């Protein structure tokens, strides 16, 4: 199975990057082919709400999203990793999601599978927030679950860590990294039990 990790943090080697790497290492240990896309290193324009995709199912903006559409289609599993920023996912992650409006159009307007035919895809969310406030992850969870729902990706779980703020601070929580590794193993194993 192919598992695509999408890193939404602007900080390379930050907390969600480290957790995503562990998750994918765990998935690879169970035979998954893994790949990571770092959104901050790409050129992704904002959705212009031009509605061109309502007729074609394709986004007319030619930038790095074209590559991401292909990777999403090729993936069996998608792991989104984003820190909490102003209660939600990062702008990088949300911009990528908004550009999936063309996939929304495929599904709801053109009535075709948003990512094409294929096995049931699964999705996972990894997040870290600097604060420890009640319901810290709720807005981001709503955004992520909506994204997966629109893309017909079955939500398979999340790993959420609060009160982790400094770059790389998650390294001081080996239990969190272990959990990420094991969650990756479990995520990859789901296809073995499905088939
Ligand atoms: C612009 C910005 C907004 C943030 N907003 C929040 C927030 O609303 N709640 C919170 O708990 N932490 C917030 N944080 C802190 C980050 O979630 C935290 O530092 C996290 O560990 C960063 O993860 P990373 O290393 O993967 O980027 C914010 C950080 C930035 C830079």
Cα separation of 20 and 22, whole Å? 5
Task: Note the pLDDT tens digit of each residue in 46-93.
Answer: 999 999 999 999 999 999 999 999 999 999 999 999 999 999 999 999
**pLDDT on residue 194:** 59
Q: What is the mean predicted confidence (pLDDT) over 174-195?
A: 91
Q: Where exactly are the structural domains of the chain?
A: 7-194
Work out the pLDDT band at 192, boundaries 50, 70, 90: confident
C-alpha span between 1 and 121 (Å, rounded) = 10
pLDDT on residue 155: 98
Is residue 107 within 8 A of residue 147, CB to CB? The reply is: no
Superfamily grouping for domain 7-194: Flavodoxin domain (3.40.50.360)
Mutate to test the pocket of ligand 1, among 9, 11, 40, 85 (most ligand atoms within 8 A of CB): 85
CA 163 to ligand 1: nearest atom: 11
Q: Check whether 193 has a pLDDT greater than 80.
A: no
Is the CB of 170 within 6 Å of ligand 1? no
DSSP string for residues in 32-77: -EEEEEEGGGS--PPP----HHHHHSS----STHHHHHHHHHH-SE
What does the pLDDT look like over 115-125, one tens digit per residue?
Answer: 998 779 999 99
The two three-digit tokens of residue 8, written as one number: 């939404």
Model confidence at 195: pLDDT above 70: no
Q: Is 75 in the pocket of ligand 1 (CB under 6 A)?
A: no
Region 167-189: mean pLDDT is 97
Whether residue 117 has its Cβ less than 6 Å from ligand 1 = no
Binning pLDDT at 50, 70 and 90, where does residue 112 land?
very high
Separation of CA 114 and ligand 1 centre (Å): 31
Kindly state the tokens that stand for 122: 């699964």
Task: Quote the Cα angle for 159-114-55, to 5°.
Answer: 140
């Amino acid at each position: 199975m192919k598992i695509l990790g999408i890193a939404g943090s602007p900080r390379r080697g930050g907390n969600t990057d480290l957790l995503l790497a562990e998750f994918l290492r765990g998935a690879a240990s169970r035979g998954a082919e893994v790949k990571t896309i770092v959104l901050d290193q790409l050129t992704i324009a904002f959705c212009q709400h031009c509605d061109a995709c309502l007729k074609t199912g394709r986004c007319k903006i030619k930038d790095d999203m074209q590559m991401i559409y292909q990777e999403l289609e090729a993936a069996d599993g998608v792991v989104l990793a984003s820190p909490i920023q102003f209660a939600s996912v990062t702008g990088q992650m949300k911009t990528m999601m908004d550009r999936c409006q063309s996939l929304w159009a495929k599904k709801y307007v053109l009535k075709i599978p948003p990512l094409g035919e294929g096995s049931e895809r699964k999705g996972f969310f990894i997040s870290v927030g600097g604060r420890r406030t009640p319901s810290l992850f709720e807005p981001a969870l709503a955004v992520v679950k909506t994204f997966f729902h629109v893309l017909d990706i079955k939500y398979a779980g999340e790993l959420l860590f609060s009160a982790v703020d400094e770059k790389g601070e998650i390294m001081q929580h080996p239990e969190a990294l272990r959990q990420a590794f094991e969650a990756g193993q479990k995520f990859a194993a789901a296809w073995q039990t499905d088939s």
